[in-house]
Structure 1
């Protein structure tokens, strides 16, 4: 029987990987590290393309939780990575629920 190995990344590494992908998609992410989680935020420009929206949502769904914040200054996408529950790259997470 074949076994499948999965790479387990720390929350910090997961946030850093997402930041690289967001940067390559044209966003300007900011990563912060807290005692119990890592967080990434990026401003979403008004002129974002449909393709960039899809890429952004695809990346956000890999987080333990994510969302969008709207204010007078614009739209900010954010994602959190819990230090208490490591995830594997193959798992898709989001909406505050773990699979």
Structure 2
């Protein structure tokens, strides 16, 4: 299985091929990749965008009230094994 870093790198490269600039935001449990979409995109660019997004764990498209569009994708990080989960001698 590919590491999170490798998957993020592949996704941002694929977005670049589609003519988009990616922004990567790290969160505790996932890495989110965002790209602002131009007002007009070719069918080929849309296909490349969707191919990049579908390789991630979740993705979506946000459309703002002013018509701006933001595509996002998230890659989940593996669970932290350092802290025992509740139920393993950590009952409430």
Interval containing the TM-score (normalised by the shorter chain) = 0.7 to 0.9
The match for 1:78 is 72
1:58 to 51, 57, 80: 51
Q: Which runs of 5+ in 1 are unaligned?
A: 1-7, 86-99
1:2-21 equivalence runs, <5 A: 8-21=1-14
Q: Is the 8 A contact 1:16 1:31 kept in 2?
A: no
Calculate the aligned-residue CA RMSD, in Å.
1.4
**Structure 1 CA distance, aligned partners of 2:61 and 2:74?**
12
User: Which TM-score applies when normalising by structure 1?
Assistant: 0.72
Q: Measure the CA separation in 1 of the matches of 2:67 and 2:23.
A: 17
TM-score, normalised to structure 2, is 0.77
| Map 1:23-34 → 2, pairs under 5 A | 23-34=16-27
Aligned residues: 78
In our comparison, the structure showing a higher alpha carbon Rg is 2
Deviation for aligned residue 1:84: 2.7
- Give distance in 2, aligned partners of 1:21 and 1:41: 13
Q: Which has the higher contact order (CA 8 A, sep 6+)?
A: 1
Which ranges in structure 2 are unaligned for 5 or more consecutive residues?
80-92
Instruction: Tell me which stretches of 4 or more aligned residues in structure 1 moved more than 4 Å.
Output: none
Paired residues of 1:15 and 1:40 also in contact (CA < 8 A): yes
